[in-house]
Structure 1
Amino acid sequence: MNASGGSTDNTGNRTSPDGAQADKVRDREATKPTAFLEVEARFAAPEEAVAPSFGFVPGVAGSKDEVRELSAMYLDTEDLRLTRAKHTLRRRTGGPDEGWHLKAPKGSARLEYGSPLDAGAVHGEGADAEYEVPADLLAPVRSIVRSHKLGPIARVDNERHVSVLFNAQGEAIAEFCDDHVTAVSLLPGGGEKKWREWEVELLGDMATSAEGAKLLERVSAVLKVAGAVESESPSKLRTALGDSIEGAPVPPSPADLPEGTPGRTVVDALAANVAKMVEWDPKVRNDEWDSVHQMRVATRELRSHMQTFHGILVGDHIGRMESELKLLAGVLGVARDAEVVAERFEKQLQREEADVIAGEMRAELLEDINQDYARAHRRVVAALNSDRYLKLLDDLDELLADPPVNPSAGEEALAGELSDDAAAASDDAAGTTAAAAPDAES
């Protein structure tokens, strides 16, 4: 936690300028999966195409070639929740980065998390094997996967011809891959496919620099001249699945009720609340800046809307879900309160009058005050990992998919209730923000 304002790096992790805080962050990071930003361009390549060299490309001073035999099993739920959310989860052997990999969208790029092979386990072989995915690797997608079983959906084998490109200082700046792929969809109706594709991926700091973007543009132009065209598929997995994805079950989705009806208004409002809560879930787990606050606001707003819609939504299960949301907001509230206290305390220590406190004592005080937040955050993560919370998310999906709407509900009453509730939610968010702000004087 960075109580003095906070920032995040390009993987979303919270950073802090304070020495004691930095040590705490490093200790926490040592137990987490690795993460890096993947910036690449993908191309479909004809079988007869000759892979180009890049020694003449500005910025490239040399290259090193090797061949890697890779084999990956891709995992998802029966209804393909990860794939539909543009995430991929795999266990891959071969190559320098073999292990468990999770890829998540991040703007125009992807964030790739990795854990070593021995962090998880496989029991059995092939499509019938049972996979134990590293728990930490699932944290960013737990709100998507929930308690649903993960199983193999595709196998992708790849003979990868790699050219690592170096700059004049001998630093690896990009990797060109000539992939010869054989893939099998394990979904009903799936089959085997073979294809060739080219990829170029930026390495290290090049992934986030203007220099890297220019290099990617230049290398991509070379590949197009050599006969490649930009890939229409977002990933090898989607190419492997092909049309077989159409036969898979579909997760619950909000009911498509007639426009202008009370039911449609209610579903749209609650769906937006649920989406916001799910969006903040992985950020809270990762302890990103302001995430606890935002998820608490989303949770309270969702509960407030559900209370507002009494008489429009009917059924005993509505009250049960409201109670669960109240409990969740309470756990988040304890962590948020501890966060605010720590922020104010650190702000006070930065005042000129606080110079009388020696550096070592200052660090000890900060560590002590942040322990309260650390404990509260661990309780939040435990709550988000609980079967109770994951069932709540499923129950909310079912509510949106089949809303128990009272057919006699009036449109005018609904409009008034929504207006009052929106004002209350705005006041709640403003009040929380004001509570977090340090006093101008003390």
Structure 2
Amino acid sequence: MAETKREIERKYESEDSGLPDLTGVGGVAAVLDKGLVELDATYYDTADQRLAAASLTLRRRTGGSDAGWHLKLPVAPGVRDEIRAPLSDTLPEELAALVRSRVREARLVPLVRLRSARDVRHLVDEHGALLAEASVDAVTAERLTGEGGTVQWTEIEVELADGGDPAFLDQVEKRLARAGVRPSASPSKLARALERTGFHRKPAEPAKPVTAGDHVLAYLRAQRDALVALDPAVRLDTPDAVHRMRVATRRARGALRTFRSVLDRAVTDPIAVELKWLAGELGIDRDQEVLAERLTTALDALPPDLGTGPAHERLASWAAARGAGAHAHLTGVLDSSRHLALLNTLDALLADPPLRKAAARNPKKVLGKAVEKDLARLTTLIERALGLPPGEDRDLALHEARKKAKRTRYAAEAATSALGTPARDLTAAMKSLTTLLGDHQDSVMARRTLRELAAVAHAAGESAFPYGVLYAREEARAAAVEAELPERWRKARSRSLG
């Protein structure tokens, strides 16, 4: 079974192989000699180094207290999450799944072997509690493919103890600097090994967007990258990861649909269909979670003398039953051939984009015109919805307007790099509008669910009164949104790019 450990560490060059005295730094009362540890790690990647390009490292290591398979995912500079699985001859499936969005059909092969003689010191406070582990590592790196090659170096590594204050590492770094020890130029041993054996392929820096096509492709590339990068977080059930992946999916689909003058829709329409499918799959769990949270919060706010106990139990059971197996289903979607094919198709689109004539033209004119078209369609939908009487037809019309407002928001967002402040202001206005319309749609869904729960409760001989109270409040909330909408829309419409 894999476990996750947050790793906060810093690496330093060490010419003389020595660790300066760190006693007294940041509350260090003693530096304890923990002896020499021999570590032997083989690092795996695809032949074209897809993991290294994303600053991911996958290794099988023996020696030390944590022998096994380790996958390191970057979080921030100097901060990584290390996913550990027990030692075995083959890569555990749980780790293979976490790199699937990058590896796909490619094979993982051993690229580099690192052997380290690690001289370990524990930095402890006056009570003997561990503050950090400092080590001097004598490293031998061997390239395992191509022409091979071996390099050696010595480095100092300081890793913060679990739960420690990262500011402690700043104090250690100041002491090391006074001793002439400088930070390592490489973020990891693997990166240094790849560079020094001539094996590292630096990714090309993206060119600055010039044409309309450049701006659209840059936006699409960012969404593709988000879909790939968020895959492990979704699998690990990281908070908000599903929502962020769903937003990236919607942004990509919106760009394909809005900028049809730039990209040939004969190629992009089928991709948009697949993006819509993925967004739908991602939304199953997310929509359920949002609705359950809304109803639970509302129920908690009711006076206890309304007899809300059975309603709380029924709502909890409903949420658990509807959410059961959702995460397993979602990981199945991410592992599916359909999803992997979508990622491959997005890669192909970006590598060889089906550009139309407008793609080579002035981005301000081309992108601005496309955004204005979306805004005009949104205007028609909003005005139609506001002209309908309150009820189901208006609810449906407002829901359609909300979807169009989101698309307009993403279109303006995609055009911001070309249009600047006007597009940025329109993006903010559309975000405000979609938030209001989203609250209305959430109320519609909440009332539908409350009717269902009330019917089941009544059939079971329970009081349906709490559901009725909540229903009335949701009805009033929706009415307030509808009353506010004309003014919110007027402000949003004033942000037109024209």
Q: TM-score range by the shorter chain?
A: 0.7 to 0.9
Say if 1:294 and 1:40 are closer, same or farther in 2 by CA, change over 3 A: closer
Could you tell me which residue of structure 2 aligns to residue 35 of structure 1?
A: 4
Contact 1:188 1:247 in 2 (8 A): no
Residues 366-400 of structure 1: per-residue CA shift (max 9 Å, x gap)? 25413312433332221112122122112111211
- Are positions 1:162 and 2:116 aligned together? no
Alignment correspondent of 1:44 = 13
State the Cα distance separating 1:420 from its structure 2 match.
4.1
1:129 aligns with none
Structure 2 CA distance, aligned partners of 1:175 and 1:193? Answer: 25
Match of 1:294 among 244, 247, 250: 244
Instruction: Report the Cα distance in structure 2 between the residues aligned to 1:167 and 1:327, rounded to whole angstroms.
Output: 55
- Match in the other structure for 1:128: none
Deviations 1:23-80 (A, max 9, x none): xxxxxxxx6x32232222211112x444334344452233242211100011111111
Q: Which has the larger radius of gyration?
A: 2
Contact kept, 8 Å, 1:159 with 1:180, in 2: the verdict is yes
CA distance 1:293–1:408, shift in 2 (3 Å):
closer
Partner of 2:420 in structure 1? none
1:137 to 2:95 alignment = yes
Distance 1:351 1:282, change over 3 A: same
TM-score by length of 1: 0.78
Give the structure, 1 or 2, with the largest relative contact order (CA under 8 Å, sep 6 or more).
1
Q: Deviations over 1:181-203 (max 9, x none)?
A: 11112343441011111111110
Deviates more, 1:320-329 or 1:275-284: 275-284
Cross-structure match for 2:107: 149
Q: Are the aligned partners of 2:151 and 2:196 in contact in 1 as well (CA < 8 Å)?
A: no
| Larger fraction in strand | 1
1:332 deviation in Å? Answer: 1.7
* Cα 1:108–1:408 shift into 2, 3 Å: closer
Correspondence 1:387 to 2:337 = yes
Could you say what secondary structure the match of 1:318 adopts?
helix
Equivalent residue, structure 2, for 1:441: 473
> Are residue 278 (structure 1) and residue 228 (structure 2) matched?
yes
Whole-Å Cα distance in 2 between the matches of residues 378 and 219 of structure 1? Answer: 44
Map of 1:85 onto structure 2 = 54
Report the alpha carbon displacement of residue 138 of structure 1 after superposing the two structures with TM: 4.3
Equivalents in 2 of 1:168, 1:35: separation in Å?
29
Q: Which moved more, 1:219-228 or 1:379-388?
A: 219-228
| Aligned-partner Cα distance in 1 for 2:128–2:233 | 37
Counterpart-to-counterpart distance in 2, 1:81 and 1:305: 26
Residue aligning to 1:199: 157
Does residue 97 in structure 1 map to residue 66 in structure 2? yes
Letter in 2 for 1:373: G
| Structure with a larger share of its residues in helix | 2
CA distance in 2, matches of 1:276, 1:398: 16
The answer on whether the counterparts of 2:150 and 2:197 sit within 8 Å (CA) in structure 1 is no
What's the CA shift for 1:282?
Answer: 3.1
Taking the TM superposition and a 5 Å limit, the aligned residue runs for 1:170-185 are 170-185=128-143
- RMSD of aligned alpha carbons: 3.1
Equivalent residue in structure 1 for 2:280, among 324, 327, 330: 330
Paired positions, count: 390
> Residue 232 of structure 1 corresponds to which residue in structure 2?
185
Deviation at 1:342, TM superposition (A): 1.4
Q: Could you tell me which residue of structure 2 aligns to residue 114 of structure 1?
A: 83
Gaps of 5+ in 2: 376-404, 410-429, 447-469, 475-498
Contact 1:187 1:245 in 2 (8 A): no
1:213 paired with 2:171, answer no
Secondary structure of 1:230's partner? coil
Q: Secondary structure of the equivalent of 1:231?
A: coil
Q: 1:404 to 1:69 in 2, by over 3 A?
A: same
Q: 1:419 to 1:100 in 2, by over 3 A?
A: farther
